[in-house]
């Protein structure tokens, strides 16, 4: 992939491409790295602004390099192409009052769903796998919505 094509890609696309080129299975990579199920799906989703932290990014680069030098990894090439051209974008659009209100209602709804899932799971004083997964999913929804709210407020701070 040439320099101009790399510059135009977003982070989620680069991560998805690196995983595809490496032949890795997302679930196996998550298991190997002890990342929660769905982590890579979030990183490669255009609708979810969640991206890996620096430690996870390094692990992802090593995993997708498949024994090749790190400089040949598309994620490293993308970082260099974007940084050399000053194209790294950190501008986050501000939330409108309507968007903020909608997200706070969604956050409250997610929080309520999480409380219900926890109550249902704990009433028999046992936690089985399916209940733990349900509670985890509810918490992930809360976190995702909270991150959207936080990122949309950054321009006002």
Q: Please report, for the chain, the start and end positions of each structural domain, with discontinuous segments joined by +.
A: 3-84, 97-156
Question: What's residue 19's pLDDT?
Answer: 86
pTM of the model: 0.52
Residue 27 neighbours by CB under 8 Å, 6+ apart? 37
Q: What is the mean pLDDT of residues 114-129?
A: 87
Q: What angle do CA 12, 136, 139 make, to 5 degrees?
A: 75
CB 113 within 8 A of CB 138: yes
CB 76 within 8 A of CB 50: no
Share of the chain above pLDDT 90, in %: 8
CB 135 within 8 A of CB 78: no
CB 12 within 8 A of CB 74: no
Question: What's residue 33's pLDDT?
Answer: 85
Task: Round to the nearest angstrom and report the end-to-end CA distance of the chain.
Answer: 38
Q: For residue 85, what pLDDT band results from cuts at 50, 70 and 90?
A: confident
Q: What is the mean pLDDT of residues 107-124?
A: 88
Question: What's residue 87's pLDDT?
Answer: 53
Find the Cα–Cα–Cα–Cα dihedral 54, 59, 60, 61, rounded to 10°.
90
Nearest to 10 by CA among 65, 74, 95: 74
What is the rounded CA–CA span in Å between residue 84 and residue 100?
35
Q: Which range, of 92-96, 114-118, 124-128, averages the lowest pLDDT?
A: 92-96
Q: Which range, of 39-53, 78-92, 111-125, averages the lowest pLDDT?
A: 78-92
What is the rounded CA–CA span in Å between residue 114 and residue 152?
23
Binning the chain into helix, strand and coil, the percentages to the nearest 5 are 70, 0, 30
Query: How many other CB atoms are there within 10 angstroms of residue 35's CB atom?
Result: 18
Question: What's residue 86's pLDDT?
Answer: 66
């Amino acid at each position: 992939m040439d320099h101009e094509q790399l510059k135009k890609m977003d982070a989620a696309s680069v991560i998805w491409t690196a995983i595809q080129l490496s032949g890795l299975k997302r679930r196996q990579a998550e298991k190997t790295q002890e990342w929660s199920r769905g982590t890579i799906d979030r990183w490669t989703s255009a609708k979810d602004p969640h991206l890996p932290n620096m430690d996870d990014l390094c692990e992802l680069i090593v995993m997708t390099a498949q024994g090749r030098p790190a400089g040949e990894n598309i994620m490293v090439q993308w970082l260099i192409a974007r940084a050399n051209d000053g194209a790294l974008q950190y501008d986050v659009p501000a939330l409108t009052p309507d968007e903020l209100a909608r997200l706070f209602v969604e956050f409250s709804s997610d929080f309520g769903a999480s409380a219900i899932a926890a109550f249902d799971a704990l009433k028999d004083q046992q936690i089985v796998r399916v209940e733990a997964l349900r509670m985890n999913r509810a918490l992930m929804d809360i976190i995702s919505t909270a991150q959207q709210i936080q990122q949309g407020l950054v321009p006002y701070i």
